[in-house]
Amino acid sequence: MNGVAVAVLVFLFLLVTVMGFAAARWRRADLTSLDEWGLGGRGFGSFIAWFLIGGDLYTAYTFIAVPATMYAGSAVGFFAVPYTIVIYPLIFLFLPRLWSVSHRHSYVTPADFVEGRYGSRSLGLAVAVTGILATMPYIALQLVGIQVVLQVAGFGGSNGFVKDLPLIIAFVVLAAYTYSSGLRAPAVIAFVKDALIYIVIIVAVIYLPHKIGGWDHVFSAVKTSFDSFNKDNAGAIANKQASGKALFTPPVAQWAYMSLALGSALALFMYPHSITGVLSTKNRGVIRRNAALLPAYSFLLGLIALLGFVAVAAGVKVDNPQQSVPQLFENEFPSWFAGVGYAAIAIGALVPAAIMSIAAANLFTRNIYRAYFRPDATPGEEATVSKLVSLVVKLGALIFVLALSKSFAINLQLLGGVWILQTFPAIVVGLYTRWFHRWAVLLGWAAGMVYGTWVAYDQASPAQSHFGSPLAKFPFTDTLVYIAATAFIINVLVAIVLTVILRALKVTDGVDETSPDDYAADIGDESVEPEVDPHGVAHA
């Protein structure tokens, strides 16, 4: 254990803990209201939203997994950079519409919108359950990110409880200030998190390559290392018992690369935590400005990915590729700055984990508890249930990490991407047209979920476990593509065909509670009158 590095890590962790609890006093409001606790009062401006949404999307696991994939020799891992660029023009178009209709009708979750748009409580339940299932392993991966940093920093020992104690303490702290302050806590902490990450990464991509001989040497060393590995393991690679390493995406993987980038871009803002960050903003202009500014994080992500190659060139040796970047910091940085690097990754897990748990709790409260058990629940009761469920969600994620192998959480997170994309037709298409029949959308969702889950399970090879890869062969071809993209195509085709059939049979469709004006409304728009929800609360 490096005492200086650990002291810096602990100090910065304690700093954000204090900030998390103090956030309850920021912009004083009644945190017994779900709008205030779960959406920060829907009042965040461009500056706060940029840190919050960026901190929400670019998680600690991103900063570990992307360079770890490059370190392990898979150039396909670089797909994360183009997909985060592709998504921003898309969200510039559809998220302002979702904000407007949600503001107009007091929707807290994407499932609220789907239920109101299609007049289908069952479809709303499907979207809510999908969101919760996809979010749970994502939260677990944030704890995995913290655990990796703690292991490299030297915490723990051979005893199981002692080894896991630092992670348990981090969990308790996260749970406490999320319960206390709601969405305000990650909004405040995001400032520190993003500042630390930008400082660490910019210093890393300038200082570390210079220290080991420059970028020329980095790429030469990586090529030599990968070529040597491929030569030594030629037989296993030919028999598909091992994967080769490559600096560039080989032709056979280009469709996989493209479909991963596009499918992930379409899925990113279907995650409930992404939408929670968006719905916390105060107007449509904030969303548009953030869509224009958030690509700055994509630039940062490109630099982060290259740290995987720097770790190879620096001779970092780890059994688990996820430890490559923290170990690189440990080996090459001065002790005090290594501590800053550890803190950047660990704190980078706290922000998204808090938002994810809040988003999952809101889905449960609004679209399961209130929809099926307590239709007359008061706003205070909703907030209380969400607070308690947020604790349960985080506890479940902790059990995931401590009781099961890390590969299980990683594999389920990959499957989560397959699942969450299947909500795209219901949410995004629903923002523009009500042509789809509600039962067709529900059955399309079911077809995509079943196909995606089955293929993800069944495509295992001798070198992979079940659910171990996001890729599989496109039907009737030998081309590898992203499983979620194929499932999405099936989802849409089923929805289109069944809509035609159901409308021809004149099967009763649900009642749409929205109107065309709702999708373009903004604060101060005189064409939109305040609405009073069933609990008597007026909403602009």
Average pLDDT for 77-85: 85
pLDDT at 536: 42
Write the CA distances from 106 to 110, 255, 355, 359, 518, integer angstroms: 11, 41, 19, 15, 12
Question: Does residue 93 belong to any structural domain of this protein?
Answer: yes
Position 40 scores a pLDDT of 87
410 pLDDT above the threshold of 80: no
% of the chain exceeding 90 in pLDDT = 37
- In whole angstroms, what is the distance from residue 540 CA to residue 534 CA? 15
First to last CA, the chain: 55
Looking up residue 313, the CATH number of its domain turns out to be 1.20.1730.10
Residue 540 has pLDDT above 50, yes or no: no
User: Shortest CA distance to 192 belongs to which of 349, 46, 57, 356?
Assistant: 349
According to the per-residue pLDDT averaged within each range, which of 126-130, 319-323, 393-397 is highest? 126-130
Residue type, 311: A
Residue with tokens 């808090």: 354
Q: Is 534 inside a domain boundary?
A: no
Reported as type and span, the H/E element at residue 532 is strand 531-532
- 226-260 pLDDT, tens per residue? 889 888 888 877 776 677 888 888 887 889 889 98
- What pTM, to 2 d.p., does this model score? 0.89
Q: CA dist 90 to 195, 241, 275, 420, Å?
A: 27, 39, 14, 17
Q: Which of 58-72, 302-316, 403-417, 425-439 has the lowest mean pLDDT?
A: 403-417
Q: Any idea which of 462-466, 480-484, 508-512 has the lowest mean pLDDT?
A: 462-466
* Cross-strand bridge partners of residue 44: 281
Q: Which of 177-186, 353-362, 452-461 has the highest mean pLDDT?
A: 353-362
Q: CA dist 204 to 195, 208, 307, 311, 324, Å? A: 14, 5, 8, 11, 14
Please give the average per-residue pLDDT across 176-185, as a whole number. Answer: 88
Distance from C-alpha of 39 to C-alpha of 17, rounded to nearest angstrom? 20
Residue 105 structure tokens: 């009708």
User: What crossing angle do the helices spanning 184-212 and 160-181 adopt, rounded to 10°?
Assistant: 130
pLDDT at 434: 93
| Model confidence at 46: pLDDT above 60 | yes
Q: How confident is the model at residue 99 (pLDDT cuts 50, 70, 90)?
A: very high
Any domain includes 16: yes
DSSP, collapsed to helix, strand or coil, labels residue 46 as helix
531 in any annotated domain: no
Output the pLDDT for position 406: 66
Domain assignment present for residue 315? The answer is yes
Examine residue 316 and state whether it is found in any structural domain, yes or no.
yes
Give pLDDT, residue 154.
Answer: 79
pLDDT tens readout for residues 284-298: 989 999 988 888 888
For the segment 69-90, the average pLDDT, to the nearest whole number, is 86
d(CA 488, CA 192): 37
| CB atoms closer than 10 angstroms to residue 376 | 8
Tens of pLDDT along 367-377? 999 999 999 88
Across the range 301-324, mean pLDDT stands at: 89
| Per-residue confidence (pLDDT) for residue 464, from 0 to 100 | 54
Domain interval for residue 306: 3-22+45-509
Are residues 170 and 142 in contact, defined by beta-carbon separation less than 8 angstroms?
Answer: no
pLDDT for residue 527: 40
Answer yes or no: is pLDDT of 161 > 70: no
Residue 98, pLDDT above cutoff 50 = yes
**Is the pLDDT at 537 greater than 50, yes or no?**
no
Q: Which residue has the higher pLDDT, 8 or 238?
A: 8
What pLDDT sits at residue 504?
A: 94
Cα 377 to Cα 34, 228, 333, 422, 535, distances in angstroms: 12, 64, 54, 30, 9
In a domain, 32, yes or no: no
Find the angle CA(266)-CA(540)-CA(538) to the nearest 5 degrees: 120
**Exposure class string for 479-501: b at 16+ Cβ within 10 A, else e:** ebbbbbbbbbebbbebbeebbee
Tens digit of each residue's pLDDT (9 = 90 or more) over 483-530: 999 999 999 999 999 999 999 999 998 899 999 999 987 764 434 444
CA-CA-CA-CA torsion for 66, 71, 72, 78, nearest 10 degrees?
40
Give the pLDDT score at 465.
58
Q: Is the pLDDT confidence value at 463 over 80?
A: no
Count how many domains the chain has.
1
Would the pLDDT of 38 be above 70? yes
The reported pLDDT for the residue numbered 531 is: 43
